[in-house]
Amino acid sequence: MDYLTVLEADYRRLVQVTSGDLTARVPTCPEWTVDDLVNHVAHVYLHKAAVMRLNAMPRPWPPAPTGETPSQLLQRGYAEMSAEFVARAGESAAATWFEPDQTVGFWRRRMAQETVIHRIDAELAMGVPSEPIPADLALDGIDEVLRIMLAWASRRWPDKFTAELSKGDGSVLVIDRWLVSWNSSGVSISDEGTEIGDGDVSGSAEAVLRWLWRRADDSAVQLAGDSAKVRQMQELLRVATQ
C-alpha cells in the first residue's frame, strides 16, 4: 500500500475541515475542541519526525511552545514528518513502541491510520459529510488494530487489559475476516475468520474500522451472536485504542 499518498490525502482533508470554528467540540473525543484535536495531531507529527531523526524517543517531550497556532504547528509538523519519510526507505531503522518492528515503515503505516481516524473526528465535529475510507486502507487499519493494538498490546501490557480479559476465557468473535479469541492470558488473532465464534461483527471494511475505533455505533455494522461477548470486545478495544 502507498501509505504516503493516503496520508497526504487525509492530512489535506483534515486541514480543509478544520479551517473554520476551532471551538467546536469533538463528539468522539468529548474532552477536546477542534483546536485541541489539531494541536494533538501536530504534536504527533512533530514527535515522529524527531523519532526518525534521532532513531530514539525524544526526551523531554513535548517541546516548549513556540507561539505558533495549532494550525501553523500542524502544517510544520506535517512538513517535517513528510520530509523524513521521503528521505528514508521504509526498511530504515526507526525507534517505535512496537518491539517487533523498528522501522520507518511502521510509522508510515501508523501515521496513515492515525490521520484517517482524526480527520473523521474533525468531520464529525464540524458537521460535514465524511469522506469515504479506501477499502485497502480500511482493511489494513482493521489488521493493525486487531494484531498490534489489541493482541500484541494485551500481552505486552497485560495490566491494562486484566479486568476485561478475565471475563473472556475461551471467548471467540469473528470480526470481518479475522478470528479474535481471548482469555486471561491475552488476545489472539487469526486471519482465518470462517470458524463459528460466540459472535460476529461484519460489514464493509470502512464500517468495521470505524466501529473498532468507536467512530461509528452498532448501527454501522451487523452484529450477531452473544451480545455480552461483543460488549466485552468493545471494552477491550476501548482500552486498546484510548
- The predicted structure's pLDDT at residue 193: 54
Listed residues 126, 147, 179: the one ending a domain: 126
CATH number, domain of 235, equals: 3.30.1050.10
- The predicted structure's pLDDT at residue 195: 64
CATH number, domain of 14, equals: 1.20.120.450
CA quadruple 136, 140, 146, 151: dihedral, nearest 10? 160
Domain that holds residue 47: 3-126
- Mean pLDDT in order along the chain per 10 residues (242 residues): 97 96 94 97 98 96 92 98 98 98 98 98 97 98 98 95 84 92 92 75 97 97 94 95 89
Give the residue from 110, 118, 95, 159 showing the smallest Cα distance to 17.
118
Listed residues 126, 149, 168: the one ending a domain: 126
Same domain, 106 and 40: yes
State whether residue 202 is helix, strand or coil.
Answer: strand
Same domain, 90 and 21: yes
Same domain, 96 and 190: no
Same domain, 187 and 111: no
Residue 137 lies in a domain: no
